């Protein structure tokens, strides 16, 4: 049975599938969750955000950055004594003691200072790296576009490497469980 997803609810662990039609808040939710994980202490470079096209990837990158900025500013305002924020995610992050709120604000500020370490990629770029990491993709082209305009940026390759490894390790674990 499916239930409505609450972006201010407990942070998802394991696999969560969100079904949503166009324009219903997918990107909003992903950006808000990214800000919450980061505020909670997950380093930005431990998050992997993938989407389909280069254009969507650009939008996701901008909106995650904006979300980190607005959350950090919201927490700064709250620490300076402002009344409860209009933003539900900021209100949530303001719960707890002052030290805790300051720690979250600092985590967000650090992530923003190092935003280039964020892995926000097209599925193409990510999968390309998985193939490369497996050493089975002899003739992988350095860059290519498909009919949807998806695009792989070779400059981002190195960053995908560790994520590809983790994905592959995860797949092996799933395979082990399935065949047990």
Ligand X SMILES: Nc1ncnc2c1ncn2[C@@H]1O[C@H](COP(=O)(O)OP(=O)(O)OP(=O)(O)O)[C@@H](O)[C@H]1O
- For ligand X, the nearest residue by Cβ is 25
- CB of residue 35 to ligand X, shortest distance in Å: 13
- For Mg ion, the nearest residue by Cβ is 27
The answer to whether 17 contacts ligand X (rule: CB under 6 A) is no
Q: Which residues contact 124 (CB under 8 A, 6 or more apart)?
A: 144, 146, 150, 151, 152
Nearest-angstrom CA–CA distance, 52 and 100: 36
Nearest-angstrom CA–CA distance, 35 and 112: 10
List 9, 12, 18, 24, residue binding ligand X (CB under 6 A): 24
The answer to whether 4 contacts ligand X (rule: CB under 6 A) is no
In the list ligand X, Mg ion, none, the entry touching 23 (Cβ below 5 to 8 angstroms by class) is: ligand X
Q: Nearest Cα to 51, choosing from 147, 121, 144, 117?
A: 121
Residue 145 per-residue DSSP state: B
In the list ligand X, Mg ion, none, the entry touching 22 (Cβ below 5 to 8 angstroms by class) is: ligand X
The answer to whether 27 contacts Mg ion (rule: CB under 5 A) is yes
- Contacts with ligand X, residue ranges (CB under 6 A): 20, 22-28
């Amino acid at each position: 049975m499916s239930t409505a997803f609450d972006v201010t609810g407990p942070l998802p662990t394991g696999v969560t599938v969100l079904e949503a039609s166009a324009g219903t808040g997918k990107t909003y939710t992903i950006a808000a969750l990214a800000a919450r994980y980061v505020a909670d202490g997950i380093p930005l470079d431990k998050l992997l955000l993938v989407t389909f096209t280069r254009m969507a990837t650009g939008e996701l990158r901008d909106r995650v950055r904006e979300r980190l900025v607005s959350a950090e500013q919201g927490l700064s305002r709250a620490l300076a004594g402002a009344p409860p924020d209009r933003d539900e995610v900021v209100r949530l992050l303001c719960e707890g003691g002052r030290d805790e709120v300051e720690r979250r604000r600092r985590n967000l500020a650090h992530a923003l200072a190092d935003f280039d370490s964020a892995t926000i990629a097209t599925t193409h770029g990510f999968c390309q790296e998985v193939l490369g990491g497996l050493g089975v993709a002899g003739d992988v082209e350095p860059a290519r576009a498909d009919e949807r305009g998806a695009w792989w940026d070779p400059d981002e390759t190195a960053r995908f490497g560790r994520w590809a490894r983790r994905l592959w390790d995860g797949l092996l674990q799933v395979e082990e469980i399935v065949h047990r």
